[in-house]
Structure 1
Amino acid sequence: MFKKKPQIKPAAPLRSSDRRKIADSIIHDYQLTISQPDEPTPEQKAEATAAHTGLRNSLLPDNVQSARFTTTHGPQLKQVSGTVYIGHPPNEDSRILWWQIEGALYPSVYTLWRHPDMVPLLHTPSIVIKKLQGGADLMTPGLAGGPPFPARAKKGSVVAIASTENPSVPVAVGVCEIDVSALQQVQGQKGHAVENLHWCGDELWSFSPSERPGKPMPEELEGWVRGLEDRGLVDKAEDLKLDDEADEGGVSLNGDEGQAHAINGHTNGVTEPSGDQEPNDAEEAREMSQKDIDSAFRSAFLYGVHHHKTTQSSSPTFGLVFPLSQSFVMSNLIQPFLPTFTPLQKEQLQIKKTSWKNIKKFIKALDKEKLLKSKEKDGHETVILDIDFRDKAIAEFKPYRLPKKESASGKSDKPTNGDDTGDDSIRQKLQVVTSYRPTSKLSPLFASTTKQLLTPPEVREIMTAYIESENLVHTTNKRLVNLNPLLGNSVFDGSGNLDKEVLAKGSVPRDALVDRILHSMNTSYAILRNGASITDAGIKTKSGTPPKVTIVLETRSGNKTMTKVSGLEAYHINARPLADELRKVCAGSTSVEPLAGAAKKNEKEVLEVMVQGPQKDAVLKALEKRGVQSRWVEIVDKTKGKKR
């Protein structure tokens, strides 16, 4: 639900009565009521009341704020709206703790990390967790650690999902679509088990009023460990293997979230080891028949087409730019997908050892099967003009396991990831830090500090100290601040209706005052990488707001679409390695040119990457690998005449 960034309106403080009412609703719905004797003594009643109040404050802190949001959900991209509740426990950042849609309240992973055993905890292998973090639903064969499963995991109940590698740390939140607790087995079962609504790594997890990145997943949570020990799952989780997964792979992706991926041991006529197991001597010495070799090449071609369909599902012709040359077909659609686990298999799986003997005859054979259309070009080459993506062999193709190949330099040659270890921006951790500097008009309010750059929490702390030192807290409502001449003159100039109303009342809500002060201050930013601090030597801040990486789609030469990417330098990304990766992933030409008018004289040039075709999704995926979050990217679609 939150794979794409929701539209969240400005947050407002939640009234105490509403906060208590919502907290009591959570306690009731999630059966968190604290038990007490049938005939409690006055002391026991007092203890129960204090415990209930503490539980309320833990679920919804007294600083909680609410905000309306809209997003899309499901394969039909149905627009839904609801409310998020933002708050922070002591000494922690503000995060979304709960969200509400259609009257139902759901906890975020941050809430689950602090409240063990609030909901039933289900488990699945780590490879399925990666699919869940892409928006997949959990399929019944993907369930691990049972039966038996938690008794509370009934149809319609809210559940958490954890990896078998970190069984005590919930990483996803969903709703059971079946009665999981009643399952007697999962192998051979089909269908959805849990609808995935929120996961560690989505936009709800990454949201922060202070624009800080999402909190990393903890290694272990003691409270959840105790719950697992009570169920006898701690030792059992360590013994779970990937073999527990069934043919459906335990995940299902629908609509805008992608397509279903199968995870199985399908070999397509080639014997291969399972997992990372090394092949034994018998397998290595096995001679492949010509039928095996032909089958392997045909399956590799189908895998190559399937790879483009699943990774570039929104692009026309799935990112393939026709006509396809013989060399392109061999290097991009066949060779990367051959199951060459052993040196002997690598030696045998060559086009000259097939019954076709060369790639030209291989393409013609596929043409006869009506998998594609081909044409002779220049009398010596056969090119592919079109591929029937709806053909049964392609539509029902199931991926098989590919070997992990390591080059002499130690970098992976696997074709599907596109990683280039020569690019140090891959897997970098980025953090955009916005700082605030008081203007000359506001400087008297900040006389107690010598710091030039302040964070929002520091501004709030300084203002709280100022308000208390000047005795400006309202006598009947502590959330209101009485205005003194300094606040009235420096913060509210009386130009707008709101200013006039505040000045007439002589008081203002504390949060509104702090927000107004923040908006009146000068801002500067720094984009930090790999744990760097703004106080480190060599780190310089720049005035203004952080720039965004810009992706522009535009039409050229009639109906040809180009994708242009700029603004990479601010995020420590080298344009040329990125262009090389996109050329391979998108199977199209790329170029890197200086962006006209972007750099002033004597400044370092700003580069722009151009990719052939509408490759927005591929670019976003490449940027994500380099630590760039979607909220730092601006997409301009000139092919439709609109800006998003």
Structure 2
Amino acid sequence: MFAKPYKVKSNNSLKNSEKKHLIQRIVDEFPAATEESAKSLVPLKSSCVCMKLVVHSGEAVDVFVVDGVPLVLGARGRLLPTVCALWRLPALLPALTVQAPVLPKIQNGAPLYLPGVCVPAGGAGFPMFARGAPLAAVTSDNAAAAAVGLAALASGDMLLKLGGVCLDVLHWVGDQLCRDPKFGKLERPRLPPPAHPALAALAALAARPDPSERLAAEVQQLHIQHGGKEEWPSLGGRAAQPVPQMPQETQVTKVPQVPHAPRVLDDAPAPAQQDDSWMDGAECGTAGASAGGGGGGGAGGAVPTDMDELLQWTLVSFIKQHAKSIELPLRASLLYRNYLLPLCPADRTLDVKKTSYKKVGKFLEAMQKEGLLEVREVEKGVDAVVALSAAHPRVRAHPARRPRRPAPPAAPAAPADDDVEYTPPQVREMFAVTAAVADLFAPLKKGATLTAAEARAALTQYVQTRGLTSAHQKGAVTLDAVLARVLNGNEQESVRWDALMLGVQARMTPCTEMRFADGSCSLTRARLEPIKMQVVTRSGNKKVTLVSNLESFGFALGELARAWQRGAAAAAGVTRAPGARADQILLQGDQTYFVARLLVEKYGLPKKFVEGADKALKKKKGT
């Protein structure tokens, strides 16, 4: 993994909460790790940094550096200790002992092959592990870890096979990570050679006394008594009558009765007795809650009031109802939003932020420890539920019913959507008077708004009252001092009417006025971007029409989508593209002709506000 140089993408310090999360992950992922050993590896008062690297193969790796020493790697969806961490906690991972000459081959990037592993005779003391489990590699002359990797074979296969790759080495002493100057000089310590546990067990067994001598001494102390009552009567026979009390010297000590010992059946059938040790959780809510275990009130029929217990109650209800039908894996966010929240009764409010877990991920981790479900990281930073335990005692004792929400009050009869005609806002292009053109539109003050027609009429009146119409050129205007200053031209220069109008409008502030059906008016002192129509192809070679930037013109997208769905006889809805700032309407098929005709001809929107309107209106509907 670190055989070649890598790139550092980011370098962030961890907060105390993130350190605690890292400690908990170490305890969860490494069976040999305890909370004390994990805290000794990542102290809360230490300086902990998370380096995000990209190795030469393109794989992203997280390196957790504690006090300037890399100790933990985050790669391939799991944690791996570095050799520096194993020098501090040698028992954190199972270790394979390799021959000393094999280590230089590993440091050159070669995997570990089975012939290089020291396998004891008969497999005594060989560590037990599954395929894919993290392993450490030590040499026969030094017990300090020299490499870390993932097992390519299970321990049983290694004992049976004679060759092949047994360890996929990811990190070793002397790779690019260990030689990084920012970590200083990392040297492998010298530890005594590893000894197999079987040798220690044999030494302890040899120190014990001879078993035959101990057995002879115990037989001599054995005392057999006669005349006592029958300890194990025959099945089906009557219970033996109690014998008279013996003298104190020969009285046999009575063994206390075991609660679950087999009972002697009498010849006559005993009267039926009701066993109250179990109850149906669906019929007895309180009893089901007490039988659910220490998880609180989330396993019984009564809905708990505590927020933590209510969250557990909804999870157990979900497992009870959907354990056999749900499709797994199921993302944690979808589980909470689509399943747990709907299971909450209407008179209660469920909020994971108000629980002691604070986050859905921590809640699922706690439930995984109780055995209710199994959670895995399916993608980087994305947890999902991969297994549900329907046979858990809390699930079996939970009532198989769904809380009923009260029916909402009947709303007054409203007209059907088909009978309601959508009324769009009236959009007009306006121009605001600025200081540069204030003399042309006197007595209007700065900031007053005019339509294009009103601006043209005011300019025409100004030209006619001052006799500025050109006598030498038809359709031209002779500029006076005011017009020359507005157009940045020269006096007595002739300018055509259209150029004059465009030049004056360019010195004014463009505005957009929207009048709504309720009589309200909105003025935007800016030129709005036009409405865009786009035809794209989705899966299955199906075309859809996307209409965006409608909200800028005051359109209500929900009502407009329903109106377009009826008018185009095609599916329509409101959606938002990834990275977009506003919603858009999606219509099935190529509906550019329908949309352009509706916006321009029916809603009266100027063509300049609909991008591609001229081209769309030339099409025929359905083409």
Q: What is the TM-score of this pair, normalised by structure 1? A: 0.29
Bigger radius of gyration among the two: 2
Question: Comparing both chains, which one has the higher relative contact order based on Cα–Cα distances under 8 Å and sequence gaps of 6 or more?
Answer: 1
Q: What is the TM-score of this pair, normalised by structure 2? A: 0.30
